[in-house]
Amino acid sequence: MQTFIEFLSPCAIMAVRIVNKLVRDKVPGLIMENGEMPNFRILEDDELLEALNDKLLEEVAEYQESRSLEELADILQVISSISEIIGGGQRELEYLKDEKAIERGAFKSQMFLESIDDMK
């Protein structure tokens, strides 16, 4: 969610959009190319993980709305960044995904579990 604030000065009115979210590395440059001035700070490690968790929720919501492959790619980028922080990285994540598929299967059978009868 962005908030707009207008500042009055003797020379001009300046609108400021409050964004407060993690952005990709090249976004500040893109903002400047658009004739605007980004105000940002570099996050500490503990702040970064929290911001990535928030970004993951944001990207999942965008995917749920659009159902686009591009949004899935955004989700993968965030997950990759999180995996680098919490240890292991992309290779370890792929390994764990594959191991889980071997142990419990994947979702290829399209099986939807509706209920379980207690047979005891």
Residues 50 and 90 in one domain: yes
Residues 57 and 21 in one domain: no
- What is the pLDDT, as a whole number, of residue 3? 63
Q: Which two tokens stand for residue 101?
A: 């598929």
Report the alpha-carbon distance of residue 3 to residue 20 in Å, rounded.
Answer: 10
Q: Can you give the C-alpha Rg of the chain in angstroms?
A: 21
The pLDDT confidence band at residue 12, using thresholds 50, 70 and 90, is: low
Indicate if the pLDDT at residue 7 is higher than 60.
no
Indicate if the pLDDT at residue 9 is higher than 90.
no
Indicate if the pLDDT at residue 10 is higher than 80.
no
pTM for this structure?
Answer: 0.81
Establish how many alpha carbons lie within 13 A of residue 86's alpha carbon, considering only the half-sphere containing its beta carbon: 13
Q: Which two tokens stand for residue 33?
A: 């190319």
Average pLDDT for residues 26-52, to the nearest whole number? 96
Residues 55 and 91 in one domain: yes
The pLDDT confidence band at residue 14, using thresholds 50, 70 and 90, is: confident
- 114, part of any domain: no
Residues 60 and 12 in one domain: no
| Residue 109 CA from chain centroid, whole number | 28
What's the one-letter identity of residue 120?
K
Domain count for the chain, please give it: 2
Structural domain boundaries, residue 16: 3-33
Residues 51 and 26 in one domain: no
Q: Residues 12, 13, 14, 19: what is their CA dihedral angle, to the nearest 10 degrees?
A: 180
- 117, part of any domain: no
